[in-house]
């Protein structure tokens, strides 16, 4: 099934369960290597990126067993350093975490330069400078990154000159078994950083301050296995919130942490969409009509860059003129060309997109160029008049659990097709 076929303009209603967070599970899965033991991880989303990561662990010698659909047992005792299959590693951004995990367990690491979504340059200089601060010698020949700390890593103060989710995760992984105290300043504060620290602490690490911009890691000699449940995916939740707002209807999301959704919720309310928060659920009520707004993407707790393309769809049909300024990934506008095929009026200049509202999008044949652009096209197709065919669906499969099943249950006319 290589395309999605969507017939639009059907309101969404009902309930949707949000899955575990992809970007939290990825560093946690690599963290199981450091545990050198058996870990059981709950709420693991069955999506392309996670399946590929579990395959990497298996090829490295881990024994991976699904206890149920979303609970995975991973025994990393037989994992061998430097055995990750490069063909898989090079397709995934998350595989950068192998560097921190291998350094922590073996004192050396060799990992193919990571891939991931095509949303512009994804440097890893902050990761490399952080590893060097911890005492590793690091080389990057453009194909492989190699790191070595023959006498082990030593704690140090790391001050990032830019906030990076990936570099912060990698420092937590590397530093948890380093000698002494590591202090990470200007750390990312995303909920998945807190979740990774929660997992590592449950494995015996001593990490404090996760969720603030200063994190302290007191090194321990070794970690051990644990059982850990991953947080809900705030970007999947935000995607269903944006879809409900765009198409109209009433949808309740279960298994969400409303606090993580605050910027998305606030922006939807500012636009005139009703959002009702409860302890672990959020209900969005929309008649498909809402006001324009402005967004500037920022690191958490700012507006997430991973919600930018989905909100671009809302802005294409909002009443009035809207703007998005992208501060994290300045080239993240490939979706604009595709939305224009559906009738959207968007002008992109440098790292800004300007939207003039159109009454209605219309169905077209479009192509998903990356994960969140793919999500945006699904929302656009659900809101549009007529039929939309989306190809490049492998990007969508990488990050969304059963998107067809979940949307069908809400009343959408959506199916996988082979063409
Ligand atoms: C992670 C997420 C991604 C999300 C992003 C920002 C994963 C697998 N991916 O990506 O979905 O969009 O956070 O929330 O979790 N940078 C450097 N040097 C570095 C590292 C980053 O200059 O060494 C820059 C990046 O180009 C970007 C900014 O820092 O401009 C933030 O990137 P970062 O937070 O590291 O994103 P990722 O961890 O790659």
pLDDT tens digits in sequence order for the chain, 419 residues long: 899 999 999 999 999 999 999 999 999 999 999 999 999 999 999 999 999 999 999 999 999 999 999 999 999 999 999 999 988 888 888 889 999 999 999 999 999 887 655 666 688 999 999 999 999 999 998 888 999 998 999 999 999 999 999 999 999 999 999 999 999 999 999 999 999 999 999 999 999 999 999 999 999 999 999 999 999 999 999 999 999 999 999 999 999 999 999 999 999 999 999 999 999 999 999 999 999 999 999 999 999 999 999 999 999 999 999 999 999 998 899 999 999 999 999 999 999 999 998 889 999 999 999 999 999 999 999 999 999 999 999 999 999 999 999 999 999 999 999 98
* Torsion 347-350-351-352 (CA) sign: negative
Identify the pLDDT of residue 239.
98
Residue whose CA lies nearest to ligand 1 atom number 17: 123
Residue whose CA lies nearest to ligand 1 atom number 37: 166
Domains defined for the chain, CATH in brackets: 3-18+232-417 (3.65.10.10), 22-229 (3.65.10.10)
User: CB under 8 Å to 129, separation ≥6 — which residues?
Assistant: none
Identify the pLDDT of residue 142.
84
Kindly state the greatest CA–CA separation across the chain. Answer: 65
Ligand 1 atom nearest to CA at 305: 12
> What residues are annotated to the active site?
117
Strands (E) across 248-398 are located at 249-254, 274-277, 281-286, 294-296, 321-325, 345-349, 352-356, 365-367, 387-391
Identify the pLDDT of residue 213.
98
Of 25, 23, 22, 17, residue with least CA distance to 228: 25
What is d(CA 36, CA 30) in angstroms, rounded to the nearest whole number?
11
What is d(CA 36, CA 106) in angstroms, rounded to the nearest whole number?
11
Ligand 1 atom nearest to CA at 304: 14
Distance from Cα 165 to the centre of ligand 1, integer Å? 6
Identify the pLDDT of residue 179.
98
Distance from Cα 67 to the centre of ligand 1, integer Å? 32
Number of H helices, E strands in the chain: 14, 23
Ligand 1 atom nearest to CA at 121: 26
Structure tokens at 33: 């290597």
What is d(CA 66, CA 50) in angstroms, rounded to the nearest whole number?
13
CB 313 within 8 A of CB 376: yes
Identify the pLDDT of residue 9.
95
Name all residues whose Cβ lies below 6 A of ligand 1: 23, 26, 93-94, 122-127, 162, 164-167, 188, 305-306, 328-329
DSSP for residue 114: P
Identify the pLDDT of residue 116.
56
């Amino acid at each position: 099934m290589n395309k999605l076929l969507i017939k639009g303009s059907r309101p969404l209603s009902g309930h949707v369960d949000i899955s575990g967070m992809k970007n939290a599970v990825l560093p946690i899965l690599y963290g199981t290597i450091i545990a050198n033991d058996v870990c059981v991880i709950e709420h693991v989303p069955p999506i392309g990126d996670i399946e590929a990561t579990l395959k990497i662990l298996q090829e490295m010698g881990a024994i991976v067993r699904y206890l149920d659909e979303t609970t995975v047992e991973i025994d990393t005792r037989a994992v061998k350093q430097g055995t990750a299959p490069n063909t898989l590693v090079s397709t995934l951004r998350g595989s950068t975490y192998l560097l921190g995990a291998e350094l922590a367990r073996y004192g050396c690491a060799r990992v193919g330069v990571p891939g991931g979504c095509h949303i512009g340059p994804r440097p890893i200089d902050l990761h490399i400078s952080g590893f060097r601060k911890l005492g590793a010698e690091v080389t990057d020949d453009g194909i492989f990154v190699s790191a070595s700390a023959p006498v082990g890593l030593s704690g140090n103060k790391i001050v990032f000159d830019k906030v990076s989710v990936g570099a912060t995760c990698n420092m937590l992984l590397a530093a948890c078994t380093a000698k002494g105290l590591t202090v990470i300043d200007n750390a990312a504060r995303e909920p998945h950083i807190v979740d990774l620290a929660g997992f590592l602490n449950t494995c015996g690490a001593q990490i404090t301050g996760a969720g603030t911009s200063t994190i302290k890691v007191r090194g321990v000699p070794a970690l051990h296995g644990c059982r850990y449940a991953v947080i809900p995916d705030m970007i999947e939740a935000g995607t269903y919130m944006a879809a409900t707002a765009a198409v109209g209807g009433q949808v309740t999301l279960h298994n969400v942490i409303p606090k993580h959704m605050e910027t998305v919720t606030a922006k939807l309310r500012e636009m005139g969409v009703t959002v009702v928060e409860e302890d672990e659920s959020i209900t969005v009520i929309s008649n498909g009509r809402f006001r324009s707004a402005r967004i500037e993407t920022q690191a958490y707790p700012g507006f997430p860059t991973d919600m930018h393309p989905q909100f671009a769809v809302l802005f294409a049909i909002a009443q009035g003129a809207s703007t998005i300024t992208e501060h994290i990934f300045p080239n993240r506008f490939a979706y604009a060309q595709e939305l224009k095929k559906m009738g959207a009026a968007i002008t992109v200049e440098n790292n800004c997109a300007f939207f003039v509202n159109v009454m209605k999008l219309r169905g077209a044949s479009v192509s998903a160029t990356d994960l969140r652009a793919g999500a945006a096209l699904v929302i656009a197709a659900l809101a549009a008049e007529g039929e939309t065919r989306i190809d490049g669906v492998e990007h969508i499969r990488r990050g969304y659990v059963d998107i067809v099943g979940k949307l069908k249950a809400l009343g959408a006319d959506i199916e996988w097709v082979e063409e």
